[in-house]
Amino acid sequence: MSFQHSLTPEDLAAFAELAVVPGVTVGDLAYVQAMSLYSTGLIDTTVLNTLDRNSNLRVFQTPIGKAGQGYAASFLHTRSETNLDVDNFQMDGNEVFVGTHACWSICKRTNPGAAAAANQGATDENQVLIPSLHAVWALLSGLYWEVTVGDDITRNYGLLKDYPQGGGIYGVPTLQSFAVTYDDTISGLAGRTAPVGAQNGMPSIYCSRPLALPIVAPPNISVKIEVKNGNAIQAPVTSSSTGASTNWMGMLDYFQIRCVLEGYKFTMPVG
């Protein structure tokens, strides 16, 4: 079978018998190339510094050139948001994507204008790092993700914090003079230091975590990947000099969440 040729991805060898569709397994597929897919979405807020309870964001639903995933109807996704080119993660024709690794990141998307103007793609909307390692930890420790392929069972893959975006931005104290210092300051330098920002990652070339069970996206079958939480998640940033809470996340701002799936593209067997 084609799975045994020299281009076979070694990290899929243990899953050769994993079903793609009835009568076809991963081992029957013809290897095409390695592939990474990414998708970005927004979750709005109604309480300062807080991710609302029972938030739900579906990623890998909206392809390039269309609107969705928390963005306004006039905001069409470009390659800045995703490289997906199919609706609802439904692979075309006889193509199959098998995701073997995943990583998640989170940041703040600012909206300095009125609520009615949110996420229109205006130049005054920015992606900003979260100004506290503790806030990132609180958010990613309360968010989990699930995958449903077609009408199959839903699998829970765990918390977002366990799938870091390796090689990404991480918390770095600086010696710049800040009027307000945050809770990540180095002891003894209070009043003079603050982190540049925090992210779900570290300076590493290893950029994603292997999945215990690969995600198989068969042809003509939608794949639903959702980020959820239960209780509201409070993520305040506290001044180390005054103890006061800093309102870093306004009610017109958004949590921006991105998932990257690394894996392989295959085609279905002929005949």
Tell me which amino acid residue 234 is: Q
pTM exceeds 0.85, yes or no: no
- Which are the contacts of 189, defined by CB distance < 8 A and separation ≥ 6? 173, 175
DSSP 72-119: -TT----TTT----SGGG-B-TTEEEEEEEEEEEEEEE---S-GGGTT
Q: What is the pLDDT of residues 163-199, one digit of tens each?
A: 988 665 555 444 433 333 444 444 444 444 444 566 6
Percentage of residues of the chain with pLDDT beyond 90: 51
Q: What is the pLDDT of residues 53-112, one digit of tens each?
A: 999 999 999 999 999 998 888 888 999 999 999 999 999 989 999 999 999 999 888 865
Contact predicate 67/76, CB 8 Å = yes
Contact predicate 111/117, CB 8 Å = yes
Label the pairing between strands 254-267 and 95-109: antiparallel
What's the rounded Cα separation, in Å, for the pair 196 and 194?
A: 6
What's the rounded Cα separation, in Å, for the pair 144 and 157?
A: 7
Contact predicate 9/100, CB 8 Å = yes
